[in-house]
Amino acid sequence: MALKRINKELTDLGRDPPSSCSAGPVGDDLFHWQATIMGPGDSPYSGGVFFLSIHFPTDYPFKPPKVNFTTRIYHPNINSNGSICLDILRDQWSPALTISKVLLSICSMLTDPNPDDPLVPEIAHVYKTDRQRYEATAREWTRKYAI
């Protein structure tokens, strides 16, 4: 079941890729993918290319995939291990969701962080109290790690 669904998503991604994102298997292992997200132009991540690893559970799509950033990023909802705080990767997961939709949600999170559900409270605090400093640091990290 999982393999059939993963193959279908791979075909759909090839046919209709989401803008500024790509994803596909690492080698022959269909349960382990690598994805890339281009930093959105209207965000401090603009110009950056961010790599993510995706691990599908054997009971996919009934359980969410594990998605992590492998490129360092300064963001209130993404920690230094690359873990992502996003409801659809946790309790709001639904088998109707696809990797394409997950990547688009992550893209939109780069443009609109959620400082009220942070994984890194310090960054959320800077985001809320000193937006200029937040954006400058995010741009600096993008230049350092994602270009």
| Residues 10-65 pLDDT 10s | 999 999 988 899 999 999 999 999 999 999 999 999 999 999 999 999 999 999 99
Looking at residue 120, what is its pLDDT?
A: 98
Active site residue 85: yes
Pick the CATH number of 2-145 from 3.40.50.10860, 3.10.110.10, 3.40.50.300, 3.20.20.20: 3.10.110.10
* Token pair for 47: 């110009």
- The structure's pTM equals 0.95
From the candidates 78, 85, 106, 119, give the one annotated as an active-site residue.
Answer: 85
pLDDT band of residue 75 (cuts 50, 70, 90) is very high
Distances (CA, A) of 9 to 65, 87, 96, 99: 13, 21, 12, 7
* Mean pLDDT score across all residues of the chain: 97
66-69 β-sheet, strand order: 21-26, 29-38, 49-55, 66-69
* pLDDT single digits (tens) 86-133: 999 999 999 999 999 999 999 999 999 999 999 999 999 999 999 999
Looking at residue 31, what is its pLDDT?
A: 98
Looking at residue 1, what is its pLDDT?
A: 87
* pLDDT single digits (tens) 13-24: 999 988 899 999
Q: Kindly give, in sequence order, each residue whose CB lies less than 8 Å from that of residue 144, ignoring residues fewer than 6 positions away.
A: 72
Average pLDDT over residues 66-91: 98
Looking at residue 21, what is its pLDDT?
A: 95
